[in-house]
Chain A
Amino acid sequence: QKEVEQDPGPLSVPEGAIVSLNCTYSNSAFQYFMWYRQYSRKGPELLMYTYSSGNKEDGRFTAQVDKSSKYISLFIRDSQPSDSATYLCAMRASGSARQLTFGSGTQLTVLP
């Protein structure tokens, strides 16, 4: 079983829709949670990170963490065709462990 599970999709939505992307994890040591966006043949781009349960909002993006359920989500409001990309969740334990553990990514297409 992978430490981080992410629905690979693909996910296709019409422009303007609300998108929900999710990851579950099994390692209780994970304390920091990130979302990256990766366009085709490019490196991942950091969208948001959070370390506490609850919601964090940044423009059209909202990251949600539920540590009790080991479940994180990214919501995209008013989705745009330019949001079409692969979305990767990543997480890290606290302390000296520095590596990021990624999900396998969800491929999103926003149709105009």
Chain B
Amino acid sequence: DAGVTQSPTHLIKTRGQQVTLRCSPKSGHDTVSWYQQALGQGPQFIFQYYEEEERQRGNFPDRFSGHQFPNYSSELNVNALLLGDSALYLCASSYLGTSGDNEQFFGPGTRLTVL
């Protein structure tokens, strides 16, 4: 059983560009959350998708947007990249069952570098 997968592993962009990151949830999971982790910090919640809709959003600007597909996979899009967007972007999947979102399983992340 594959866990949460993310692509690409690494990405280098320049300021002002746009980027799309992808995530496939763990088998049986229907909810995908995205987090940004700066070096030496804990992950910060960006948003969560369930039933192809954004259910909750953290304190991130509209440059950050996402999508969830019918197969539960998800994309994170970031427009007009800034140097401060350089971070590890983590996808977490969960099943909205009895444990709710207490058991969120993380992928290996995509390391984005903005030059």
B interface residues, tally (CB under 8 Å):
28
Of chain A, the residue at the smallest CB distance from B109 is: A43
Smallest CB separation, A100 vs chain B (Å):
6
Q: Does B41 contact A (CB under 8 A)?
A: yes
Complex: chain A residue closest to B104, CB-CB: A100
Which of A12-20, A45-53, A56-64, A74-82 faces chain B? A45-53
Chain A 16-42: CB-based contact to B (< 8 A → 1; otherwise 0): 000000000000000010101000011
Q: How many chain A residues touch B (Cβ–Cβ < 8 Å)?
A: 27
A34, A100, A103, A104 pick with most chain B CB within 10 angstroms = A100
| Interface contact A43-B102, CB-CB below 8 Å | no
Q: Which residue of B lies closest to A33 (CB)?
A: B102
A-B contact count (CB 8 A): 65
Are B103's CB and A49's CB within 8 A?
Answer: yes
In Å, the complex CA distance between A32 and B98 comes to: 13
A102 near B43 with CB under 8 A, answer yes
Beta-carbon contact of A98 and B55 below 8 Å: yes
Please name all residues of chain A whose beta carbon is closer than 8 Å to the beta carbon of B43 when the two chains form the complex. 44, 88, 100, 102
Binding site for B on A (CB under 8 A): 4, 6, 8, 32, 34, 36, 41-46, 49, 51, 88, 90, 92, 96-105
Excluding A8-B40, A97-B56, A103-B42, 8 further A-B contacts by CB distance (< 8 Å) are A43-B109, A44-B43, A96-B56, A98-B48, A98-B56, A99-B58, A102-B42, A102-B44
